[in-house]
């Protein structure tokens, strides 16, 4: 089954404790992206990757890191989480030369205390 | 630069009534336009998309949208609302030049009243 898998789905952590949210897709997509969803703000792009070893900032990259060492995986790293990073995070992927249709994971709800 | 404006963060309709969710876009190039739906505790899934060709686009679950270039709009409609349509709906725009920047609206929560 074609899917984007995120882990963990739910996480409560404390300020400053490094964490990683993993994202994996099995559709051989070149393009992968991370979004955060906040009430009243919709989805905002954090980082994206056009292919292996190619990443770039989205609209709200501060406080986040990403890496793309393999085509299927695109982890999101919070080196020192802060309460303003409490949010619902989505990973998405697509073929690079597509019309922009994205396939989304089920989301990771992160709470930073 | 591209952007999307969704009018109304919350919309309530009675079961069986017309659903109309409004979306206006701004794009410097011919756009690709999308509607995504998010059911509670789930990720977003594509409802329908406009790329080129026919301006009236049909999607899943009886939804459709019409691309109106003169009005820069891409409103989503469904003739008769079902309880199962209760969800959040996102309009999105993408650069048709092949670059993958997709910009989302803030979303509209649809409530269906029995």
pLDDT at B63: 97
- Mind listing the pLDDT tens digit for each residue in B5-31? 999 899 999 999 999 999 999 887 778
Strand segments (E) across chain A: 4-7, 10-13, 19-25, 31-38, 42-51, 54-57, 65-66, 76-78, 87-94, 103-104, 108-112
Mutation site, A102, A108, A109, interface B, largest B CB count within 10 A: A102
Q: B94–A31: do the CB atoms touch at under 8 Å?
A: no
With a cut of 90, say whether residue A71 has pLDDT above it.
yes
Which residues on chain B are in Cβ contact (under 8 Å) with A108? none
Kindly state the helix (H) or strand (E) to which residue B76 belongs, with its residue range. Answer: strand B73-78
pLDDT by 10s per residue, chain B, length 114: 788 999 989 999 999 999 999 999 988 777 889 999 999 888 999 999 998 888 899 999 999 999 998 999 999 999 999 999 999 999 998 876 555 678 899 999 999 999
Name which of B84, B85, B109, B97 is nearest B6 in CA terms. Answer: B109
The CA distance from B98 to B94, in Å, is 9
Beta bridge partners of B13: B112
Percent of chain A scoring above 90 in pLDDT: 83
Which residues on chain A are in Cβ contact (under 8 Å) with B102? 33, 45, 100, 102
């Amino acid at each position: 089954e074609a899917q984007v898998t995120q882990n963990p789905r739910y996480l409560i952590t404390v300020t400053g404790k490094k964490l990683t949210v993993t994202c994996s897709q099995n559709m051989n997509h070149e393009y992968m992206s991370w979004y955060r969803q906040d009430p009243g703000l919709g989805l905002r792009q954090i980082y994206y990757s056009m292919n292996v070893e190619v990443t770039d900032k989205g609209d709200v990259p501060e406080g986040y890191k990403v890496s793309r060492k393999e085509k299927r995986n695109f982890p999101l790293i919070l080196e020192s989480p802060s309460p303003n990073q409490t949010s619902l995070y989505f990973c998405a992927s697509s073929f690079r030369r597509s019309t922009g249709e994205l396939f989304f994971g089920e989301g990771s709800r992160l709470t930073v205390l | 630069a591209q952007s999307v404006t969704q009018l109304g963060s919350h919309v309530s309709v009675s079961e069986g009534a017309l659903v109309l969710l409004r979306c206006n876009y701004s794009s410097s190039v011919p756009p690709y336009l999308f509607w995504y739906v998010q059911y509670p505790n789930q990720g977003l899934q594509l409802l329908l998309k406009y790329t080129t060709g026919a301006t009236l686009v049909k999607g899943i679950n009886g939804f459709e949208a019409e691309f109106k270039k003169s009005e820069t709009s891409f409103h989503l409609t469904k003739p008769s609302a079902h309880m199962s349509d209760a969800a959040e709906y996102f309009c999105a725009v993408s650069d048709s030049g092949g670059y993958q920047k997709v910009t989302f609206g803030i979303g509209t929560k649809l409530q269906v009243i029995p």
